[in-house]
Amino acid sequence: MHDVRELIDSGPETERRLARRGHPFDLDGLRAAQRRRVTALEAVNGLRAELKQASRRGRPADSSAPTAPTEEDLRERNRRLRDRVQAAEAEAREAEGDLERLLLTVPNLPADDLPDGFDEKDAVEVRRVGPRRGSGPGLGRHHADLGESLGILDTAAAGKLSGARFSVAVGPGALLERALGSLLLDLHGREHGYTEYAVPHLVSRETMTGTGQLPKFEDDLFATSVGGRELFLIPTAEVPLTNLLARETLDERRLPLAMTARTPCYRAEAGSYGRDTRGLLRLHQFEKVELVRVCREEDAEAQLELMLTHVEACLRRLELSYRVVLLPAGDIGFSARKTYDVEVWLPGSDTYREISSVSDCGTFQGRRAGLRYRAGGSRRPAATLNGSGLPIGRTVAALLEQGQREDGSVVLPEALARYTGFHRLLPGGGSE
């Protein structure tokens, strides 16, 4: 969330930057909401002072009557004043709520060094790593076909249980997913310095609001209500990890903080029907290892570059070919001010596809969640960053497609084979 005074003071500049993301910014509406809030608070403070003064003197503050009021007059006067205070307080709460709801709909301001544009064709390629493995004569099969022929993916069983956009991993496939999660957590914990957490998969509306999923993306979330208690299934571990520090003030010496967790992720994928319906790329439920960093705002740019190296280290360890692109201003997430997408090569689709987004959110989430740090005698909103390191399903898809051989087998990277106990997946459900 933004500081309303900063948005108003830099009004034309705010309009220009938000226009780069395609967001129509109502500066006049924001000014009116802020004026209403200020006026309401001034009225409350004035009436409270009047009530306090009248109670202390035992007579109306502006009384010029020749005779003192009776006890009944005093009680009636104070009652009327208290009623006016309560009405003014109610108006102030309403004005405060309306302003907050308006601010919650304003996305983060994009960084100035982002390219212009609104979709993937406007992204700028930063680097490309590795050959286009898995392509060529007798190769290029889609991971869904490979998974079925290898006997490790059962889409029919998933459909019977839950319908479209779910998956079932079988035998070596299930072990592959488990091994991949362990490798990634070990890499981030032992080599990259992240602290691992096990977090809830159900969180409150306040928690979802803190990281920017609500109110904008409510249609993309799965929710449940039991006994009048509303909870949301997390779309990513970014939500609980970041909010672990909500409404806290950290010592500056603790920064930067680095956290990771492997969790299921649940996404309704509203509006995406018809895209990536086969395989593991766009599921309602999938597992992911998430990375979150918390730092001072002036350190966020360096922390973003550092987190990007951690994500790339995963792909290099898994011997996967990929590229890094800088997203344009109109294609970054609601809470982000700058995002790199890491795209893995998928020969089955003959293209690079996103496997991780690494984002600098600046102080946007810190303000929404009340996440601060103490520097000297002042408290400042902390900056937050997040990235996938990595999603299990999409990584399995890339391993299958890039590791495929003409005989229908799939060769796994050495680093992962140490976790699975096998180097090759064989047609029909075997491994060796």
Treating both helix axes as pointing N-terminal to C-terminal, what angle do 27-57 and 71-104 enclose, rounded to 10 degrees?
160
Respond yes or no: is residue 357 known to be catalytic: yes
141: nearest Cα among 407, 412, 323: 407
Respond yes or no: is residue 394 known to be catalytic: yes
**For residues 149 and 378, what is the distance between their CA atoms, to the nearest angstrom?**
61
E strands, 327-406, are 338-346, 351-360, 372-375, 378-381, 383-391
Which one of the listed residues 394, 401, 409, 431 is annotated catalytic?
A: 394
Residue where the block lists tokens 């692109």: 325
Which one of the listed residues 37, 141, 262, 267 is annotated catalytic?
A: 267
What percent helix, strand, coil does the chain show, rounded to 5? 45, 20, 35
Respond yes or no: is residue 282 known to be catalytic: yes
Treating both helix axes as pointing N-terminal to C-terminal, what angle do 27-57 and 11-19 enclose, rounded to 10 degrees?
140
**For residues 72 and 60, what is the distance between their CA atoms, to the nearest angstrom?**
13
Residue where the block lists tokens 């869904």: 144
Eight-state DSSP code of residue 334? T
**For residues 4 and 35, what is the distance between their CA atoms, to the nearest angstrom?**
11
**For residues 299 and 293, what is the distance between their CA atoms, to the nearest angstrom?**
11
> How many Cβ atoms sit within 10 Å of the Cβ of residue 421?
10
Which one of the listed residues 269, 354, 374, 424 is annotated catalytic?
A: 354
Q: What own/partner pairs with CB < 8 Å and gap ≥ 24 does 43-47 have? A: 43/88, 43/91, 43/92, 44/85, 44/88, 44/89, 44/92, 47/81, 47/84, 47/85, 47/88
**For residues 74 and 70, what is the distance between their CA atoms, to the nearest angstrom?**
6
Which one of the listed residues 48, 132, 178, 282 is annotated catalytic?
A: 282
Respond yes or no: is residue 125 known to be catalytic: no
Start-to-end C-alpha separation, the chain: 52
114: nearest Cα among 307, 332, 344: 332
Which one of the listed residues 149, 167, 356, 357 is annotated catalytic?
A: 357
**CB of 196 closer than 8 Å to CB of 203:** no
**3-class DSSP state of 353:** strand
**CB of 308 closer than 8 Å to CB of 343:** no
Respond yes or no: is residue 305 known to be catalytic: no
Residues with catalytic roles: 267, 282, 354, 357, 394
